[in-house]
Amino acid sequence: MSDGEPKVNVDGVPYRTIWCDEQGTVHAIDQRLLPFRFKVMRIDSLVAMAEAISTMAVRGAGLIGAATGYGMHLAAREAADRPSGQGTDLVAAAALLKATRPTAVNLAWAVRRQLQVLADIEDPQLRAAAARAEADAIADEDADSCRRIGEHGLGLLRQLHETTGRTVNVLTHCNAGWLAFVDHGTATAPIYAAHDAGIPVHVWVDETRPRNQGARLTAWELAQHGVPHTVVADNAGGHLMQRGQVDVVLVGSDRTTADGDVANKIGTYLKALAAQDTGVPFYAALPSSTIDWTMTDGVRSTPIEERDGREVTHMEGVGPDGSLIEVRLTPVSSPAANPGFDVTPGRLVTGLITEAGICAASAAGLAAQHPDLAGGS
């Protein structure tokens, strides 16, 4: 875990979720097809990257940030390829990317980083080269942050194992795994680190309706890494906690406010309520790039993405012949609502695990751990 090498294997082959080749074409794992098919997409235009993010071919906080960084690289490359050196306006490119997933703060963060780096570079070729280098840096930093989150979280899981003397049961929601980042994941990073260190760990995987990121993605990547796990319906978590079958809840975050409120996949808040009622520790793991230092009171302030109701009314899977099929679940005449995220107030969060360590989910806790970032944008 600490060697910095790509952590994740797919059928034994090491992968990152996104990378860029020497020609500047971006490659990313298409998450819409998992776990049924493993396919790598080529993304070679700004518009294609925006579509990949909005259709959730690439998804998850850190990966969205990395994809956005590469989206800006593609935009700068398109401009440099035009005879006049003009063309795609980087501010327009930034706006296009930022509109794709409103809750994910890594998106705006990556755009801001690129615009800052590119602001004073006039020459289109130099600008394209700088955008590529910055995109690579964003991706590498995401992987490194996740690796360090794993190291900090490992201590927690080790302590739980030493206290109970038995397998550590973790419950997780959605996919905050390596698929949602560039490598390692956030909620999964301590799990992989513990598993690799020989600590017995078992994961309860919330299916995470409506898109089933838990059942489809988290289960797949845990299986690839050989981590014992069990998929449960979203509604099972409270019961498992009441029966003492969960030692810790570990989730990710798509935006954490400066005072420690955690926006994450819809349904996370209910798990935090159950955890508090049953005395189960509840941690959110996130790189500091996911902290929105300009926002407080996340319950009121966080923009919540409203997704297509079809994700609720329909479900996708494979039929008996292995082909991908979609079935309707609800009456044709029943409308559906589909808020993509909810916000767990910091008072329900035992701690935040970032690349810098573990801190209280509060303004004071975050500011003490990230004195260089707190108060900034």
301, containing H or E segment: helix 298-301
**Interface map 319-348 toward ligand MRU (x if CB under 6 A):** ---------------------x--------
Write the CA distances from 298 to 60, 176, 267, 307, integer angstroms.
19, 20, 16, 19
Q: Name every residue whose Cβ is closer than 8 Å to that of residue 53 and which is 6 or more positions away in sequence.
A: 59, 64, 67, 68, 71, 97, 100, 101, 107
Whole-number Å distance between alpha carbons of 36 and 90: 37
* Residue reference for tokens 């038995």: 166
CB of 33 to ligand MRU, least distance (A): 15
* Residue 254 designated active-site: yes
For ligand MRU, the closer CB: 252 or 351: 252
Among 212, 253, 256, 257, binds ligand MRU (CB under 6 A): 253
Q: Name every residue whose Cβ is closer than 8 Å to that of residue 60 and which is 6 or more positions away in sequence.
A: 175, 176, 177, 179, 180, 181, 252
Among 20, 34, 61, 246, binds ligand MRU (CB under 6 A): 61
Residue 352 burial by Cβ neighbours in a 10 Å radius (0-12, 13-18, 19+): buried
CB of 59 to ligand MRU, least distance (A): 4
Among 7, 16, 32, 59, binds ligand MRU (CB under 6 A): 59
Longest dimension (CA), the chain: 68
- Choices 21-29, 56-64, 196-204, 356-364; region in contact with ligand MRU by CB under 6 A: 56-64
* Residue reference for tokens 């993010």: 53
Task: Show contacts with ligand MRU in window 258-317 (CB under 6 A).
Answer: 264-265
Identify which of 7, 344, 16, 285 has the alpha carbon closest to the alpha carbon of residue 154.
Answer: 285
Contact between 213 and ligand MRU by CB under 6 A: the answer reads yes
Q: Name every residue whose Cβ is closer than 8 Å to that of residue 127 and which is 6 or more positions away in sequence.
A: 76, 79, 80, 118, 121
Whole-number Å distance between alpha carbons of 77 and 235: 47
Beta bridge partners of 202: 169
Total residues binding ligand MRU (CB under 6 A): 16
Task: Show contacts with ligand MRU in window 109-148 (CB under 6 A).
Answer: none
For ligand MRU, the closer CB: 132 or 269: 269
Contact between 174 and ligand MRU by CB under 6 A: the answer reads yes
Contact between 184 and ligand MRU by CB under 6 A: the answer reads no
SS3 category, 75: helix
Of the residues 247, 254, 259, 342, only one is catalytic, namely: 254
Among 60, 65, 210, 214, binds ligand MRU (CB under 6 A): 60
Write the CA distances from 98 to 68, 249, 295, 316, 347, integer angstroms.
8, 30, 17, 28, 30
- Choices 35-43, 89-97, 140-148, 173-181; region in contact with ligand MRU by CB under 6 A: 173-181
- Choices 192-200, 248-256, 355-363, 369-377; region in contact with ligand MRU by CB under 6 A: 248-256
Among 134, 254, 261, 355, binds ligand MRU (CB under 6 A): 254
For ligand MRU, the closer CB: 20 or 174: 174
For ligand MRU, the closer CB: 128 or 138: 138
For ligand MRU, the closer CB: 59 or 77: 59
CB of 304 to ligand MRU, least distance (A): 11
CB of 377 to ligand MRU, least distance (A): 21
Distance of CA 179 to the CA centre of its chain: 7
For ligand MRU, the closer CB: 59 or 147: 59
Among 20, 251, 275, 356, binds ligand MRU (CB under 6 A): 251
Helices 90-98 and 61-81: crossing angle, nearest 10°?
150
Which residues would be at the binding site for ligand MRU (CB under 6 A)? 59-61, 174-176, 180, 186, 213, 251-254, 264-265, 340
**Which residues are marked as active site?**
254
